[in-house]
Amino acid sequence: MTQALDTAIAAVDDALADIQDPVRRNDAMREAEAKLSEVFKRHRRGVANDLYAQGKKWREVGETLGGVSAQRAWQISRGE
């Protein structure tokens, strides 16, 4: 992982640790998780499309994305 990502993750960890109320901390965790999920989905889509644009077959794209099928790689590229 890059230093910038490590720093960002540490900042989120610190921000969550600063929330003393467990209910508020849980709410903040859920909100952060949902936001990060959308960020990861967008980047995964970009990776799939970039690999395909480089001439990779959907099967190869799927392997790079963690061993998903060619069909699933195509779906990811469409944001599904």
pLDDT single digits (tens) 30-71: 999 999 999 999 999 999 999 999 999 999 999 999 999 999
pLDDT-based confidence at residue 21 (cuts at 50, 70, 90): very high
**CB neighbour list of residue 62: distance below 8 Å, 6 or more residues apart:** 68, 69, 70, 72, 73
Q: What angle do CA 78, 9, 60 make, to 5 degrees?
A: 35
Give the contacts of 59 (CB within 8 A, at least 6 positions apart): 69, 70, 73
Q: What's the count of helices (H) and strands (E) in the chain, helices before strands? A: 4, 0
55 vs 1, residue with greater confidence: 55
Query: Domain boundaries in the chain?
Result: 3-77
Put simply, whether the predicted model's pTM sits higher than 0.85 gets the answer no
Whether 1 has a pLDDT exceeding 80, the answer reads no
